[in-house]
Structure 1
Amino acid sequence: MQNREQDDPICLDDISLLDEDCGLGTSDGDKTYESAQVINNSLEGVVPNVGMWFQSAKEIKSFYKQHAVKCGFGVQTRISKKDDDNQLCYLKLVCSREGKYVSQIPPELKTHPAQTRQCLACLTAKQTLDINNEAGVHLNKTFRSLVGHMGGFDNLQFLERDARNYIGQQRRVFSKEGDKHALMQHFSRMRELNNSFYYEIDTDPENRIINVFWEDARSRAALVDFGDVISFDTTYLTNKYDMPFAPFIGVNHHGHSILLGCGLLLEDTSTFTWLFQCWLRCMGNRAPDGIITDQCKAMKNAIAIVFSNTRHRWCLWHIMKKVPEKLGGLTTYKTIKHALKQLVYECTSTINFELGWEQFISNFDLHHNEWLSTLYEEISRWVPCYLKSQFWAGMSTTQRTEGMNAFFDGFINSTTTLK
């Protein structure tokens, strides 16, 4: 073949699938192509290289997408050209992240300053953020007004991210006296109606409420008989203060879900520790035999501190839900998914599971998959055959909690206040 420039139209038979941005090699327009390699119907395992021939654009795309899935990147068409007869004569496939992003935001409004200077209006900025937040003004609009007022971003000492964190921190406390008073008044009234009503409130150094736990008399009575296994989940609802609603759910002798306590809290180890200690005191220092949660590390740490003798189980549904996200990019994903489900749900003994796991990892060459390796380290928390010797009240997931959440939908939402 004769030499030709890379930008000149070339026929499909001479196309090079080398992608400069994905590290698959480079293409030199002055380089003479070697004799073409004929590709048969089986393209699996073949690595793109100079001189490959294809019969159609469809075959090219299919081959390169298959290679991209194996290597873990997406594919997009960067350039395509057609000749005078409207036939495709040039095609360039590249990584989906190829190219350089050019921001449309004016330089004076960018959220990453070239240098920082001493801010002369920090207090004024905080007051503006607080006032606009109370008025419901979007944070990005408030931040842009501050930038304009100060004459450019370089005159501000903080980023938009810092402003967002500040507002989030303010929302996580009951800063409005009306809401704080309404909460205290309601709890006092409930205690007057029934002395068995239990509540605890956590405050910050400025005496503002940051965490709350409460349990009524009916739930405390149910704890005596049905508090041996509980489901705990914080994914239901985040209120106007960015504080998740955290219910404790159990199962009664009819198989019905029952509420065993509620909390409004932040999501870190110290907060979960405080909440679990409140629940333990309410229960007369009798820890549950088992607790089911998601894979939250903060929950795991707090349970180890407060419920040291309690068996901690992870929600199996949440784990299996992540399979498409973690393994979906693999070439043999469907086969892997079927084999994993069969292994998890059908193994009846720990010995068979461990042997099956080793075979599963080896068959699909998944030794370096970090997600699977992490799961294997904690198999006693989620694999059914490791947990079947203990009573779990028929629960293997936190969906009992999610079912109870449907009850609250008719009364509260993310904009509900405490008044």
Structure 2
Amino acid sequence: MGEQCHSHAPLEINFSESEENLISHSPEECKLETDSFDGIDACPVPQRGMVFSSEAEARLYYTKYATQMGFRVMTRTSKKGRDGKVKYLILVCSEITRNASDAARKQYCAARINLTLRKDGTYRINAVTLGHSHELGSHHLLPSDIDMRGKRTLDSEVIDMGVKKISDKNEYRNYLQQERHLIGENGDGEALQRYLVRMQEQDRNFFYAIDLDDFFCVRNVFWADGRSRAAYESFGDVVTVDTTCLSNCYKVPLVTFVGVNHHGQSVLFGCGLLSCEDSEAFAWLFESLLHCMSGVPPQGILTDHCCKAMQKAVETVYPSTRHRWCLSNIMEKLPQIIDGYANNKSLRDRLQNVVYDTPTTNEFEGKWKKIMEDFDLKDNKWLKELFLERHRWAPSFVRGEFWAGMSINPHSENMHAFFDGYVNRQTTLKQFVDQYDNALQYKTEKEYIADIHSSSNTQACVTQSLIERQFQSAYTHAKFLEVQHEFVGKADCNVSVGNGDGSICHYNVIEDVIIEDKPKESVVKVTYNRVDCDVKCNCQLFEFKGILCRHSLAVLSQERVKEVPCKFILDRWRKNIRRKYAYIKTSYGVQHFQPHVQRFEVLCNQFNSIAVAASEFEDTSAFVKDTLYNLKEKLEAWTTLLRNSTHVNVEKCNNMIDWK
């Protein structure tokens, strides 16, 4: 996509729209046969963002519009690339007047459209001027009066709309409004530019990328600070792409990449601004994230289910990444989809039941089809497409893979609300940039408080289970409470032996549940291996969320297991792990972080000076590497002692650890 500017070079871009150099061409250069031209159908007013499948279609569209308005068209400027294709062109009103004070000077009419060739071979209107410096004709021009160029045969369906065949005029108008967002107007561009430059000065790990069009106007932007990039290393396995602000009711065309930290809180990986919502723009944004994160793609990505362009971009840029749709986003739209159907409340309740309370794919499919028959919804296009793509969103289909628990039930945290309270429909880009640090500081402080509570306090157990105590000592408070919820639910589970095959045991766990306000029994199957203490439940809560389910805990209790293997205690949810991003200096640094962040900065500078001195010779370099390796092992032992006790005698630690 166009030109790119990366953060490795200073930002010297004017975010205001560029002025083109006008080159006059005679009307003879613009002639075109118009055998297939239909001057009767109304032609829409040109707007930025309109797209044509070829140069010829763009020319014919503007000529048709000029005909109904009463003026003629000529080419003012065009430029070809090495492949011979026109890279950009400017079509203008052909009216030329003489200056009253200087008859030798020509004055061209201001009306025009600027067109740019895109990578996919289509042409997009980049700028529009509608006003004329003269009176328009009082009647439509005849086809024979129009200046054209070349012979072409055009698709009549494309000609009818100039861009796409969209039957409804309101739908077409909405399409045009959504096709292009303005970035960098009314001082917003200068504010963004100052922010990017300031961040690069304050944060040596700050990254940004800018996508420019052929007129060096900003098309798309991506950025991520050093803390967000480091957080991606710990939690970037699952990423949610929030495109809420791309709606035309928002002034900031913002896209955010969000994940989940060890407390289950949302954590930011990066932000983008998109001028349009096609697959090309999304592909550029995803490639920028990939480049920013050292070429490591997310293992799973969640997006809005409506955006086909985003789905295509994910498949192109992240071919090996699992892609699913945000369930909460789908369920929020459900009421308006079924509004007007008979027994609306009953229909909504049954749809929520089939989504949230069907553990198996077969049960989901059977109940869904029954609802479609009972409420005569077989012709509902939205629900029909939703069912065809059920593997991308339905819990019973996505539970088998790790998604960090994102959007699995109606009470889960909304990942789309990262900038909630800082961005609304009236927020401008300048206002957002001014509030950006405040938003991230609030999130950072929230995480810091959770870290302090998890490390300094102990959440009480609700059972006498040694397994619960195992999770108590390992997990953050938020995640331990989720484990406790399963221990409480274990009381509703009854274990019965199904069958066994040597060391492999198969159990049926009968759970008492409430569905639609009625008590029912749910039966799940659990497999347990007595050799390696491996347990697997077909509810797949652990696979999806990384939390052992109540059914597995019931079987482990039946087997008298006192401690679970380490693989069931994920590092992702641990409270005593040092995570790199907590030591990264940022412009929104929390005051409480300053001591260890400052120590980190001082040590890094010392290590840099050591590296400079040691790297001169192979022997000195090898000596420092060996010394640092041994030092790291001893430091880890020491920090473990300090972390596990509130009162540690330094002299005692020195005696326990051999520093020689």
Say yes or no: TM over 0.5: yes
Q: Map 1:27-46 to 2 at 5 A.
A: none
Instruction: Give the one of 396, 406, 416 matched to 2:430.
Output: 416
CA contact (8 A) 1:237 1:414 kept: no
Q: Map 1:18-97 to 2 at 5 A.
A: none
Secondary structure of the residue that 2:223 maps to in structure 1?
Answer: strand
Give me the whole-angstrom Cα distance separating, in 1, the residues matched to 2:67 and 2:338: 40
The answer for the alignment partner of 1:212 in structure 2 is 221
CA contact (8 A) 2:282 2:313 kept: yes
Shift of 1:319: 1.8
Shift of 1:315: 1.8
The answer for the alignment partner of 2:369 in structure 1 is 358
The answer for the alignment partner of 2:617 in structure 1 is none
The answer for the alignment partner of 2:49 in structure 1 is none
Q: Evaluate the alpha carbon distance shift between residue 375 and residue 163 of structure 1 in structure 2; reply closer, same or farther with a 3 A threshold.
A: closer
Identical positions, percent = 37
Give me the whole-angstrom Cα distance separating, in 2, the residues matched to 1:383 and 1:170: 32
Secondary structure of the residue that 1:329 maps to in structure 2?
Answer: coil
Question: Which ranges of structure 1 fall in alignment gaps of 5 or more residues?
Answer: 1-109, 128-141
Q: Evaluate the alpha carbon distance shift between residue 297 and residue 147 of structure 1 in structure 2; reply closer, same or farther with a 3 A threshold.
A: farther
The answer for the alignment partner of 2:658 in structure 1 is none
Secondary structure of the residue that 1:195 maps to in structure 2?
Answer: coil
CA contact (8 A) 2:290 2:297 kept: yes
Secondary structure of the residue that 1:375 maps to in structure 2?
Answer: helix
Give the letter for the 1:253 counterpart. H
The answer for the alignment partner of 2:397 in structure 1 is 386
Are residue 196 (structure 1) and residue 191 (structure 2) matched?
Answer: no
CA contact (8 A) 1:113 1:153 kept: no
Once the two structures are superposed, what CA deviation does each residue of 1:262-283 show, in whole Å capped at 9, x if it has no partner? 0111211100000000001111
CA contact (8 A) 1:239 1:413 kept: no
The answer for the alignment partner of 1:370 in structure 2 is 381
Instruction: Give the one of 71, 89, 97 matched to 1:118.
Output: 71
Are residue 317 (structure 1) and residue 362 (structure 2) matched?
Answer: no
Give me the whole-angstrom Cα distance separating, in 2, the residues matched to 1:124 and 1:165: 29
Secondary structure of the residue that 1:352 maps to in structure 2?
Answer: helix
Are residue 305 (structure 1) and residue 316 (structure 2) matched?
Answer: yes
Give me the whole-angstrom Cα distance separating, in 1, the residues matched to 2:173 and 2:405: 46
Q: Map 1:252-267 to 2 at 5 A.
A: 252-265=261-274, 266-267=276-277
Give the letter for the 1:405 counterpart. F
The answer for the alignment partner of 1:275 in structure 2 is 285
Instruction: Give the one of 235, 240, 243 matched to 1:231.
Output: 240
The answer for the alignment partner of 1:32 in structure 2 is none
Give me the whole-angstrom Cα distance separating, in 2, the residues matched to 1:163 and 1:321: 25
CA contact (8 A) 2:71 2:137 kept: no
Secondary structure of the residue that 2:219 maps to in structure 1?
Answer: strand
Question: Which ranges of structure 2 fall in alignment gaps of 5 or more residues?
Answer: 1-43, 46-64, 74-91, 94-107, 113-128, 147-160, 163-168, 435-660
Once the two structures are superposed, what CA deviation does each residue of 1:139-162 show, in whole Å capped at 9, x if it has no partner? xxx97x87996476958x999999
Give me the whole-angstrom Cα distance separating, in 2, the residues matched to 1:372 and 1:217: 42
Q: Evaluate the alpha carbon distance shift between residue 180 and residue 359 of structure 1 in structure 2; reply closer, same or farther with a 3 A threshold.
A: closer
Give me the whole-angstrom Cα distance separating, in 2, the residues matched to 1:124 and 1:399: 56
Q: Evaluate the alpha carbon distance shift between residue 153 and residue 390 of structure 1 in structure 2; reply closer, same or farther with a 3 A threshold.
A: farther
Which segment is superposed worse, 211-220 or 307-316?
307-316
Q: Evaluate the alpha carbon distance shift between residue 204 and residue 113 of structure 1 in structure 2; reply closer, same or farther with a 3 A threshold.
A: closer
Q: Which of the two has higher C-alpha Rg?
A: 2
Aligned residue pairs, count:
295
CA contact (8 A) 2:239 2:300 kept: yes
Give the letter for the 1:404 counterpart. F
Shift of 1:371: 1.8
Once the two structures are superposed, what CA deviation does each residue of 1:350-403 show, in whole Å capped at 9, x if it has no partner? 111112222222333332222221111100111111111222222118964432
Q: Evaluate the alpha carbon distance shift between residue 237 and residue 294 of structure 1 in structure 2; reply closer, same or farther with a 3 A threshold.
A: closer
The answer for the alignment partner of 2:452 in structure 1 is none
Give the letter for the 2:245 counterpart. Y
Give the letter for the 1:118 counterpart. F
CA contact (8 A) 1:292 1:314 kept: yes
Are residue 405 (structure 1) and residue 358 (structure 2) matched?
Answer: no
Are residue 396 (structure 1) and residue 397 (structure 2) matched?
Answer: no
The answer for the alignment partner of 1:284 in structure 2 is 294
CA contact (8 A) 2:278 2:309 kept: yes
TM-score, normalisation: structure 2: 0.39
Once the two structures are superposed, what CA deviation does each residue of 1:44-81 show, in whole Å capped at 9, x if it has no partner? xxxxxxxxxxxxxxxxxxxxxxxxxxxxxxxxxxxxxx
Once the two structures are superposed, what CA deviation does each residue of 1:296-343 show, in whole Å capped at 9, x if it has no partner? 111111111111122212122222233333222222333322221111
The answer for the alignment partner of 1:246 in structure 2 is 255
Give me the whole-angstrom Cα distance separating, in 1, the residues matched to 2:235 and 2:182: 32
Give the letter for the 1:117 counterpart. G
Q: Map 1:338-357 to 2 at 5 A.
A: 338-357=349-368
Once the two structures are superposed, what CA deviation does each residue of 1:246-294 show, in whole Å capped at 9, x if it has no partner? 1111111012211110011121110000000000111111111211211
Q: Evaluate the alpha carbon distance shift between residue 235 and residue 390 of structure 1 in structure 2; reply closer, same or farther with a 3 A threshold.
A: same
Give the letter for the 2:403 counterpart. W
Secondary structure of the residue that 2:363 maps to in structure 1?
Answer: helix
TM-score, normalisation: structure 1: 0.59
Once the two structures are superposed, what CA deviation does each residue of 1:152-202 show, in whole Å capped at 9, x if it has no partner? 6958x99999999999989635478x7656544542332233221111110
The answer for the alignment partner of 2:16 in structure 1 is none
Once the two structures are superposed, what CA deviation does each residue of 1:93-140 show, in whole Å capped at 9, x if it has no partner? xxxxxxxxxxxxxxxxx989994533478474548xxxxxxxxxxxxx
